[in-house]
């Protein structure tokens, strides 16, 4: 025993005292130069949910928030140690396997998004799905980053077997010719895009209202303001609840901390603020896990009250379901 301990001490002294550097002359490991596929499974009772990332868009911070000084916006970002000039806005869709039915909530950017987006289909397939398996696509609202994945630039939809559900108020607004013609010039492209995506299936879409169980386990929640018919969802199975927040916030680092701020995309700012507070309060009082479309991947966590504001506590990665 005595001898063994002495020789170990001697070895340690040799290692610490050596000035030789490791020899890397035979190193061969190539760089990855690419990220691994972005999907994350989690359970909501018996429902298996999968978050699928569609990458991100980068936007200049200046002008992004309508009712706050840039210096104050930067101060909030610095609390999360985030860059001060540009904001990365992530895209995360949710797939729900409910009793063998594959339900997709929003479809990502397809081939029409920012250069850093467009990985959705590769990630969806890497998660073990194929688009022909999708039974139902539910749309939260009609902004391009949520609907363009449904119909590619070629006009083809990858979801050949899927039924489609849309919020009735959203449909009435965007498909109305009067709204289109009266809209400001800057919004005409968004109107045209909604028609590009939905015109070929306009006789098949199923319209849904707020506050209804639209399929077993998914109840729509009115979260109007971001767009006229913008919806969030309560997904439940047994005693388990999970709130899909959709675009209740356009980046959690900003609008969970400061729900009274309004993003340039909120079409009715006051209504969006009211909806945001309602949804954040609901997440706190229900103690439910939440997901956001625009949050750092995998975009799930819990909302806690933090004085007069809120904070998002990300869900830790779990190796088991
Ligand atoms: Zn969005």
| Per-residue pLDDT reduced to its tens digit, 119-135 | 999 999 999 999 999 99
Res 18: pLDDT: 65
CA 30 to ligand 1 centroid distance, Å = 36
Contact present, 294 and 109 (Cβ < 8 Å): no
Residue 143 has pLDDT above 50, yes or no: yes
CA 318 to ligand 1 centroid distance, Å = 27
CA 53 to ligand 1 centroid distance, Å = 13
**DSSP character for 119?**
-
Dist. CA 56–CA 85, nearest whole Å: 16
Reference 91, options 235, 297, 317, 280; nearest CA is: 297
CA 165 to ligand 1 centroid distance, Å = 17
CA 48 to ligand 1 centroid distance, Å = 23
CA 71 to ligand 1 centroid distance, Å = 25
CA 78 to ligand 1 centroid distance, Å = 23
Question: At 19, is the pLDDT very low, low, confident or very high (cuts 50, 70, 90)?
Answer: confident
CA 146 to ligand 1 centroid distance, Å = 6
Dist. CA 35–CA 312, nearest whole Å: 25
Residues of the chain above pLDDT 70, percent: 94
Tokens of 240: 């388990």
Ligand 1 (single-atom ion) residues, CB below 5 Å:
145, 247
Rama region for 171: left / alpha / beta (φ>0; ψ in -120 to 50; rest): alpha
Res 75: pLDDT: 94
Contact present, 291 and 245 (Cβ < 8 Å): yes
CA 141 to ligand 1 centroid distance, Å = 8
In whole numbers, what is the pLDDT of the chain averaged over residues? 93
Is this prediction's pTM over 0.85?
A: yes
Question: What does the CA dihedral 292, 114, 40, 306 come to, rounded to 10 degrees?
Answer: -30
CA 108 to ligand 1 centroid distance, Å = 9
Residues 291-314 have a mean pLDDT of 95
Tokens of 192: 């045209």
Res 176: pLDDT: 97
| Per-residue pLDDT reduced to its tens digit, 207-244 | 999 999 999 999 999 999 999 999 999 999 999 999 99
Residue 37 has pLDDT above 90, yes or no: yes
Tokens of 308: 């007069």
Reference 114, options 77, 86, 139, 74; nearest CA is: 86
Residue 16 has pLDDT above 70, yes or no: no
* Domains assigned to the chain: 38-314 (3.60.15.10)
Res 15: pLDDT: 55
Q: Which helix (H) or strand (E) holds 303?
A: strand 300-306
Residue 2 has pLDDT above 70, yes or no: no
Per-position DSSP letters for 96-109, written without gaps between them: EEETTEEEEE----
Among 9-18, 40-49, 252-261, name the one with the lowest average pLDDT: 9-18
Question: At 5, is the pLDDT very low, low, confident or very high (cuts 50, 70, 90)?
Answer: low
Dist. CA 279–CA 264, nearest whole Å: 20
Res 7: pLDDT: 53
Dist. CA 105–CA 218, nearest whole Å: 11
């Amino acid at each position: 025993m005595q001898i063994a301990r002495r020789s170990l001490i001697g070895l340690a002294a040799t290692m610490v005292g050596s000035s030789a550097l490791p020899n890397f002359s035979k190193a061969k490991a190539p760089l990855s130069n690419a990220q691994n596929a972005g999907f994350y499974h989690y359970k909501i009772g018996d429902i298996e949910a999968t978050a699928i990332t569609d990458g991100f868009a980068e936007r200049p911070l200046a002008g992004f928030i309508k009712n706050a000084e840039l210096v104050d916006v930067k101060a909030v970002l610095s609390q999360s140690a985030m860059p001060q000039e540009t904001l990365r806005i992530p895209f995360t869709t949710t797939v729900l396997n409910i009793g063998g039915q594959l339900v997709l909530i929003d479809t990502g950017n397809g081939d029409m998004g920012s250069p850093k987006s467009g990985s959705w289909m590769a990630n969806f397939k890497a998660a073990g799905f194929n688009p022909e398996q999708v039974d139902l696509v539910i749309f939260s609202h009609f902004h391009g980053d949520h609907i363009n994945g449904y119909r590619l630039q070629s006009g083809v939809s990858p979801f050949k077997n899927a039924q489609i559900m849309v919020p009735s108020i959203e449909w009435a607004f965007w498909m109305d010719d009067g709204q289109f013609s009266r809209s400001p010039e800057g919004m005409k492209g968004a109107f045209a895009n909604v028609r590009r995506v939905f015109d070929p299936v306009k006789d098949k879409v199923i319209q849904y209202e707020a506050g209804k169980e639209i399929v077993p386990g998914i109840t729509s929640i009115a979260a109007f303001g971001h767009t006229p018919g913008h919806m969030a969802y309560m997904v439940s199975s047994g005693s388990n609840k999970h709130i899909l927040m959709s675009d209740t916030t356009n980046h959690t680092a900003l609008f969970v901390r400061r729900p009274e701020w309004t993003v340039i995309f909120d079409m009715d700012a006051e209504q969006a603020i009211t909806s945001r507070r309602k949804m954040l309060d609901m997440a706190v009082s229900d103690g439910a896990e939440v997901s956001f479309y625009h949050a750092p991947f995998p975009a799930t966590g819990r909302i806690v009250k933090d004085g007069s504001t809120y904070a998002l506590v990300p869900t830790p990665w779990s190796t088991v379901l």
